[in-house]
Structure 1
Amino acid sequence: MKKTFVILLAAGALALTSTAVMADGSKLPAFEELDVDGNGSISAKEATPCEALMNCFVKADTDHDGQLTLAEYEAIGADTEQKG
């Protein structure tokens, strides 16, 4: 029982750390690392230190609100997987 709990706990922790992989194979930082203010989205200002993310920020911001939600951020990786 303990072993199962530990495995489920570890799997849950991995699921909470969302990263995106670019077409060239480089990984973007975890969503939580970029969401500096912890509001649940990444602003253009928060994305600025990550050149790879800035290169696709406007396209990834599908609702054009100037913020990337977790879903929009994860879609960056999904889009590059489909193309690659």
Structure 2
Amino acid sequence: MKNKWILIACAGTLFSSIALAEDMGGEQPTFANLDTDRNGTLSVEEAAANQQLAQEWRNLDTNSDGLLEEAEFSRFKMMEESE
């Protein structure tokens, strides 16, 4: 009987995780969501939360200061929308 409840709990956790992952998959990252320290710029570490943004980092950091300002991030958003 105890194993049955453990199995039910695990199944519930699995299905809720899948549902959450599907919900998050469609959500586009925003500058505000990625700027976790709320300093007005994105660091490499913050950008790593979005794989595509991390891959485009060098192209987007036009002033090569190691940070993305909101204007630089807007180029990423335009690239995403054109795909």
Partner Cα distance (2:47, 2:73) in 1:
11
Alignment correspondent of 2:69: 69
- Structure 2 spans left out of the alignment, 5+ residues: 1-25
What's the CA shift string for 1:23-49, capped at 9, x where partnerless?
A: xxx864110010000000000011112
- 3-state secondary structure, aligned to 2:38: coil
Instruction: Looking at secondary structure, tell me which structure has more strand per residue.
Output: 1
Q: Per the alignment, in what secondary structure is the counterpart of residue 46 of structure 2?
A: helix
Q: What is the number of residues matched between the two proteins?
A: 58
2:50 maps to 50
In the alignment, structure 1 segments of 5+ residues that lack a partner are 1-25
Q: Which runs of 4+ in 1 moved over 3 A?
A: 79-82
Equivalence for 2:3 = none
Q: Check whether the contact 1:28–1:53 (CA below 8 A) recurs between aligned residues.
A: no
- Greater helix share, structure number: 2
Distance 1:40 1:80, change over 3 A: same
Q: Deviations over 1:32-81 (max 9, x none)?
A: 01000000000001111211110101110000001000000001233455
- SS of alignment partner, residue 58 of structure 2: helix
Aligned mates of 1:72, 1:37 — CA distance in 2: 18
* TM-score computed with the length of structure 2 as normaliser: 0.60
Cα distance change, pair 78–36 in 1 and its aligned pair in 2 (3 A) = same
